[in-house]
Amino acid sequence: MGRIMKHYKAVQMYTVRDYLRDFFKESLAKISAMGYDAIQGGYRHGMEVEEYVDILNGYGLKELHAGGRLDGDLSPIFKQAKAFGVTEVGIGSIPDELQASYEGFKKYAAQLNEIGKRLFEGGGLSVNYHNHALEFASFGGTNGMDILFEETDPKYVHFTLDTHWVTCGGQSPSKWIRRAEGRMPYVHFKDYAINAGKAEYLEGVSKRFAEVGQGNIDWEDVVSACRDINISAYIVEQDFCQGSPFDSLKISFDKLVALGL
């Protein structure tokens, strides 16, 4: 097993997106009070970067990635990364027009390499790709995620694998986590649950997003894999919650602690 390093327990702020416009500071206070020590994706464009960092510092929180437009002037991203003390630049998904073919994924891999090279050479940064389930579509025995892994340079392109979406894609989260060794500083934790009761038709079993430990993912196996590759941040994300997202975040946090994180 790999050496266990200091790590962050973090919240992907998409989870509480409905509260950020009017209750930004109140949301940060609740997240901090639960015990989380970092967030991802909380920077609001239009706010001065220095002001944002000062606010986070007041709640004992750290921002884990920089972000913004990657097709032009990169100086705002370099400024964010320096202020946040990070080297990862997050990117959410492959463009719609490239999702449906082998050639589309190959083209996007080349684009990621180009973007990543600019970020690395300009400021020592890496582009960091977050998957959903669509990347596991098969193209003649090779899926889209295979293409992104194999066709991108590990020096320039990193990944934040999402446990729910890997499971939704019919794959093993722990297998993919281990495959990403050396190019995956962060992981997204959300569970994969099946709704109770018979669906409208037999094959139509409906799944849902769930708090960590409230679904079907083998978390002991996942955590073992994360430790093997020295994950530095465990980021809880829940796209939709059945009740308050803050209640869901607390349930997930308690499970992280129970898992020894």
Residue corresponding to tokens 């190019």: 183
Query: Residue range 224-232: average pLDDT?
Result: 97
Q: Give residue 2's pLDDT band: very low, low, confident or very high (50, 70, 90).
A: very low
Residue pLDDT, tens place only, 61-103: 999 999 999 988 999 999 999 999 999 999 989 999 999 999 9
Which of 252, 255, 170 is closest to 207 using CA atoms? 170
pLDDT of residue 1: 32
pLDDT of residue 4: 42
CA atoms of 74 and 157, how far apart (whole Å): 16
Q: What is the mean pLDDT of residues 202-215?
A: 89
What rounded mean pLDDT belongs to the chain? 94
- Give the pLDDT confidence score for residue 5 in this predicted structure: 52
**H runs (alpha helix) in 85-158:** 102-123, 144-151
The label of the residue with tokens 């020590």 reads 37
The answer to whether 174 and 225 are in contact (CB under 8 A) is yes
Output phi, psi for 70, to 5 deg: -110, 10
Q: Which residues contact 18 (CB under 8 A, 6 or more apart)?
A: 245
Q: Please tell me the distance from the alpha carbon of residue 95 to that of residue 102, in angstroms, as a whole number.
A: 14
Burial class of residue 123 in the structure, from the number of CB atoms within 10 Å of its CB (0-12 exposed, 13-18 middle, 19+ buried)? middle
CB-based contacts of 97, cutoff 8 Å, min separation 6: 104
Domains of the chain: 8-89+154-258 (3.20.20.150)
* pLDDT band, residue 243 (cuts 50/70/90): very high
- Nearest 5 degrees, angle CA 132-CA 134-CA 137? 140
